Amino acid sequence: MKILLIIILWSSLIKSNLVNGITASRRPGPRIIGGTSSYPGQYPYAAAINVQTGTSRFFCGGSLISNQWILTAGQCVDGAILFTIQLGSNKLTGDDLYRVTAATSTYVLHPDYNPLTLENDIGLIQLRMSVAYTSKSMRSTFNNKNKFYFSVNLRKIDVYTFHVVDLIDMWAVGWGQASDQDSELQNELQWVEVARLTNEECKIFYGNQINDNTLCVEGNYNEGTCYGDTGGPLVVDLGRGYTAQAGIASFISGNGCESTEPSGFTRTFPYEDWIKNVTGL
């Protein structure tokens, strides 16, 4: 699947290194391709992050894991001096009474993050003030019939701290580009269903860049993440209506978003203790 707040033009000065097929860019990264637009409140933990460094501005995704902490990729916080973050809305622009906008400069980058290989590609952003979880009732059309449903509009997601097993439904979420040619972000949050590859299968494409903390996924044909999706969550369905985050969008193929090669995510479960130590959760 390829879907990873304000539309930003990517700087022509962004420099990327191709490492064994991985686009290891100091300025992120992947998008959602072949995705479906989300409805309001479908992914209430999704965070749209505008990042400013001393020399550039770019966009990343993230996920709200508490009322004051956002989980994202390490490359999204490395060298940042300011984050402008939108929460509670599935749209980057347009009126939305439930949108929350926050600014902060506080982040924690994993101490072993490697910008060349993207090892330990994980970071945390701390909001200056806690956000309040909200909810609203909505009316939607489903299968040509009017249906009422209750939608939580702003809510945290639990980080999945166990190994991902086969047959678990997974989907990637983001506002990233819809193609290699389209340089703009998607205004509506996109999602795409993906399937897990084993690390041995993923090494066929990316070699020894794949390690125990990597999770590779692929969709139908070329569906997956694209530029602008970096840092966004890989969500798993654990059954009985319970979902959790299993990965963080990290890299795509050096052949581009539309290649049929898998998308790479940082697994969340190996970092459970680090996340808890930093956030106090």
Taking only the tens place, the pLDDT of each residue in 80-102 is 999 999 999 999 999 988 899 99
For residue 33, what pLDDT is reported?
Answer: 53
For residue 7, what pLDDT is reported?
Answer: 29
Q: Which of 223, 276, 278 is nearest to 252 (CA)?
A: 223
Of the pLDDT bands very low, low, confident and very high (cuts 50, 70, 90), residue 145 is very low
Domains of the chain: residue spans and CATH: 19-132+149-279 (2.40.10.10)
SS3 200: helix
Q: Which of 243, 195, 225 is nearest to 61 (CA)?
A: 225
Q: Is the pTM above the cut of 0.95?
A: no
Complete edge-to-edge strand list for the sheet that includes strand 106-109: 100-104, 80-87, 46-53, 57-64, 69-72, 123-126, 106-109
What's the burial of 77, exposed, middle or buried (CB within 10 Å: 0-12/13-18/19+)?
A: buried
* Torsion angles phi and psi, residue 130, rounded to 5: -65, 145
Mean residue pLDDT of the chain comes to 79
Q: What is the Rg, in whole angstroms, of the alpha carbon atoms belonging to the chain? A: 17
Of the pLDDT bands very low, low, confident and very high (cuts 50, 70, 90), residue 135 is low
What's the burial of 214, exposed, middle or buried (CB within 10 Å: 0-12/13-18/19+)?
A: buried
Taking only the tens place, the pLDDT of each residue in 152-173 is 567 788 876 555 555 577 899 9
For residue 162, what pLDDT is reported?
Answer: 57
Residues 6+ away with beta carbon under 8 Å from 259: 222, 252, 253
Taking only the tens place, the pLDDT of each residue in 6-47 is 223 233 223 233 233 333 333 444 435 556 788 888 898 999
Positive/negative CA dihedral, 215, 85, 156, 154:
negative
Task: Read off the pLDDT of each residue in 260-274 and give the average, rounded to a whole number.
Answer: 91
For residue 260, what pLDDT is reported?
Answer: 80
Q: What does 248-272 look like in DSSP terms, one character per residue?
A: EEEE-BTT-TTSSSPEEEEESGGGH
